[in-house]
Amino acid sequence: MGGFRETILNNRARLIIFAVLFILFFTAIRGMDTEDWTITLLRGLSVGAITFLVAAGLSLIFGLMDVLNLAHGELFMLGAYVGWTVYVRPDTFMDVLTFSTIIGAGLVLLPLWRYLYSNWRPSQSMANIWPWIVLAATLVLLFFAIREYPLSIWDPEDFTQSPGAFSLAVSQGMLVLPEPPNYESIPPAVGLGALFLGGLLLGVALVGIEQRKLAALIETHFSWRAIVMSAGLLILGLIFFWFNDPITEYLLNMNTAARFFLAMAVAALSGLGLGALVEKSMIRPLYDRPIYQIMLTLGLGFIIIEVVQAIWGRPGFGLPKADIFSGTGEGCPATNFSELLENQCSTIVLFDGRVRTYNEIFIILIGVVVLVGIWLLLQKTRIGMTIRAGVQDSEMVEALGINVRRVFTFVFALGVGLAALGGILAAPSIGLSPEMGTRLLLLALIALAVGGLTSFPGAAAGAVLVGLLQQFIIKYGQIGINLPFLDEPFKPTPPLVPASTVLLMVILLLVLPHGLFGRRE
């Protein structure tokens, strides 16, 4: 039994912390009515679930690559805005999808250029200059090609055409999309050709930049797969272009729940793509200089905020909930779950309290699904094994002949994808605004520090803890705490809510410098 005793002694600070947290939790519950504390508990879990989606990615990325991605909050926000576009403006989504598919069709020919380039060796000074010239020319070409593309979009300056107005129209079921525009000044073939050419040249420039130093990657095989893929994407893009209106029509008349799930999928996928892109282009050159990565992600965050403000406008707006979460008619609020599914109620009565279906049940559900999914990925798959090994010692894993860089890209993409999913998931309950990410990032960082920086279960536990604490303080701000020696109930003011989570972090880190589940280094 010596081992057991030792475990207890080694972890006594941790055990005391757990005991104190449980006692605090039960005292907090005892001060409330049953209906109050169930709702507060569920709200806390819901905030915890959203925080977890952000913190999970941060934790994986930090654990594996020692990169604290401070742009994570902004990527979360971007996910919300992308999801909003799919849900509220399917026509814009289809237009963007069309031209990105055609650009992508040109871009996937990249291996071909590598093959050709390995047969052509220009002088060093030439090799240093021409890719940048091609890149600049390509960007100009793409700029004009995209500007000429008939994009049907909102206008943040014009109130009736602003994103907020479209959100309102969707929530009232009276969405009228503007007339889809067509190519005006140039024939469609030229416009689409320019997009394809832009993608093609972008690939050429990227290969040039990649190969300018030394002959690092010599492609000896002529890649047929790239050509087939490019042709496939091109055909897909043309289909999207010619059948743009029917597809938009179909999306618009789709069940709102299905459209919301589509929005979630698109947000997560675009997060994945963006994450891979950011890792490959910006984070990768900086692995030798850790502090610079933090600074880079900070700058990236500012850029994303400004881009979002330029496209979607400064003021925040809401995202209407799907119909199955917003029924208020007959039989509502539901009293049990079968009734809930039948009447599609917005609220359900649990323990005498009215619980909102979307905010307090669906979000938690998705959070649990993601938690289990990532846990399975980490424990049961080969890549999960590599990630776990990499968290412990990534140099050793590299020495064993595993391509760690590829795993880095995968994990970064996965983390950003999760954050983007969190963004669209949170949007219907907290609304969209350019600042939503910054606030959540602070919460996620606190959750991470509380749970232990590199620990995945720690991220989950920390997120739940932070969410619960925050919601209980908010609730007590409404009903007041009866403290001894005070005549009136003490009411925590709203600024105390973020302050309380920060204090929790500071106190906890003083007792346990590595967090609840962190490992001693």
Partner 1 sequence: MQSAIPNLENRQNRVLDLLKANSGLIAVFLILLAFPFIVALLNGQSFSAVLNNETGNAKFLQGLMIEVFILGVYAISYDLILGVTGLLSFGQAMFFAVGAYVTGIAFKKLGLGIWATIGLVVVAGVIQALLFAVVLPRVKGITFALVTLGFASVFFIVVKTNELKDYTGADVGLQGVIAPAFLDTNKERFVLYIISLCFALVVYLVYRRFVDSPTGRVCIAIRDNEDRALMLGYNTFTFKLVVLIIASITAALAGGLHAIHQPIVSPNIASLAFTVAALLIILIGGIGTLTGAYVGAIVFRLLQFYLDKWFGEGANFLLGLVYVLLVLFIPYGIVGTWRVHSFRVKQGRQYLARLLSGGAYQPVDAEVEE
| Residue 209 binds partner 1 (CB under 8 A) | no
Selected from 52, 62, 312, 517, the binder of partner 1 by CB under 8 A is 62
Find the part of the chain contacting partner 1 (CB under 8 A) among 48-56, 305-313, 319-327, 358-366. 305-313
**Given its phi and psi angles, is residue 351 left (phi above 0), alpha (psi -120 to 50 degrees) or beta?**
left
Residues comprising the chain, all counted: 521
Question: Please, what is the minimum distance in Å from the beta carbon of residue 97 to partner 1?
Answer: 25
Interacting residues of 227 by C-beta distance below 8 A, sequence separation 6+: 109, 112
Is residue 311 near partner 1 by the rule CB under 8 A? no
Encoded amino acid at 369, one letter: V
Contacts 24+ apart (CB under 8 A), 179-185: 179/152, 180/91, 180/150, 180/152, 180/244, 180/245, 180/248, 181/150, 181/151, 181/152, 182/150, 183/148, 183/149, 183/150, 184/150, 185/148
Nearer to partner 1, 122 or 513 (CB): 513
* Binding segment (CB under 8 A) for partner 1, from list 6-14, 238-246, 378-386, 502-510: 502-510
Q: Mask: binding to partner 1, 429-448, rule CB under 8 A, as x and -?
A: -------------x--xx-x
Given 299, 315, 331, 489, the residue binding partner 1 (CB under 8 A): 299
Residue from 282, 366, 385, 481 touching partner 1 (CB under 8 A): that is 282
* 65-94: contacts with partner 1 (CB under 8 A): 68
Token digits for 123?
A: 């002088």
Greatest extent of the chain over all pairs of C-alpha atoms, in Å: 86
Cα 162 from Cα 365, distance rounded (Å): 32
Residue 166 touches partner 1, criterion: CB under 8 A: no
Q: Which stretch binds partner 1 (CB under 8 A): 255-263, 400-408, 411-419, 496-504?
A: 496-504
Rule CB under 8 A: say whether 13 interacts with partner 1: no
Considering only 298, 349, 389, 481, the residue that binds partner 1 (CB under 8 A) is 298
Region of residue 401 (left: phi > 0; alpha: psi -120 to 50; beta: else): left
Under rule CB under 8 A, residue 306 binds partner 1? yes
Q: Which residues contact 152 (CB under 8 A, 6 or more apart)?
A: 91, 92, 95, 177, 178, 179, 180, 181
Q: Check residue 134 for interaction with partner 1 (CB under 8 A).
A: no
Of 121, 294, 86, nearest in space to 212 by CA: 121
Task: Say which residue the tokens 């005006």 belong to.
Answer: 184
With CB under 8 A as the contact rule, the residue among 174, 176, 214, 291 that binds partner 1 is 291
Tell me how crowded residue 359 is: count the other CB atoms within 10 A of its CB.
21
- Among 16-24, 183-191, 211-219, 290-298, the segment contacting partner 1 (CB under 8 A): 290-298
Q: Which stretch binds partner 1 (CB under 8 A): 78-86, 180-188, 301-309, 336-344?
A: 301-309
What is the smallest separation between the CB atom of 409 and partner 1, expressed in angstroms? 18
Judged by CB under 8 A, the stretch of 47-55, 280-288, 424-432, 461-469 that binds partner 1 is: 280-288
Of 357, 494, 513, 377, nearest to 449 by C-alpha is 513
| Cβ neighbours for 484, distance < 8 A, ≥ 6 positions apart | none
Q: Which is nearer to partner 1, 165 or 509 (CB)?
A: 509
- Cross-strand partners of 356: 347
Position 486 contacts partner 1 (CB under 8 A): no
Q: Looking at beta carbons only, is 180 or 480 nearer to partner 1?
A: 480
189 binds partner 1 (CB under 8 A): no
Structure-block tokens of residue 450: 């509380």
| CA nearest to 471, candidates 37, 18, 23 | 37
Among residues 107, 272, 305, 421, the one that binds partner 1 under rule CB under 8 A? 305
C-alpha–C-alpha distance, residues 146 and 309, integer Å: 19
Please, which residue, 177 or 509, has the CB nearer to partner 1? Answer: 509
Continuous H helices in 317-362: 337-343, 357
Alpha-carbon Rg for the chain in angstroms? 26
Instruction: Select from 289, 406, 491, 519 the one that contacts partner 1 (CB under 8 A).
Output: 289
Q: Which of 153, 307, 366, 385 binds partner 1 (CB under 8 A)?
A: 307
Instruction: Closer to partner 1 by CB, 426 or 449: give it.
Output: 449
Q: Tell me the per-residue interface mask from 448 to 467 with partner 1, x by CB under 8 A, - otherwise.
A: xx---x--------------
Q: Is residue 200 within 8 Å of residue 106, measured between CB atoms?
A: yes
Distance CA 377, CA 370 (A): 10
The least distance separating partner 1 from the CB of residue 43, rounded to whole angstroms, comes to: 21
Torsion of CA 231, 234, 236, 240, to 10 degrees: -170
- For residues 52 and 448, the answer to whether their CB atoms sit within 8 Å is no
Stretch that binds partner 1, among 42-50, 234-242, 401-409, 504-512 (CB under 8 A): 504-512
Query: Nearest distance from residue 509's CB to partner 1, in Å?
Result: 5
Query: Does the protein bind partner 1 through residue 520 (CB under 8 A)?
Result: no
Confirm or reject binding of residue 418 to partner 1 (CB under 8 A).
no
User: Which member of 189, 215, 216, 510 binds partner 1 (CB under 8 A)?
Assistant: 510
* Per CB under 8 A, 489 contacts partner 1: no
- Nearer Cβ to partner 1, position 288 or 395? 288
Which residues of 44-167 form beta strands (DSSP E)? none
Instruction: Give the binding site for partner 1 (CB under 8 A).
Output: 62, 68, 282, 285-286, 289, 291-292, 294-296, 298-303, 305-307, 309-310, 442, 445-446, 448-449, 453, 493, 495, 498-499, 502-503, 505-506, 509-510, 513-515
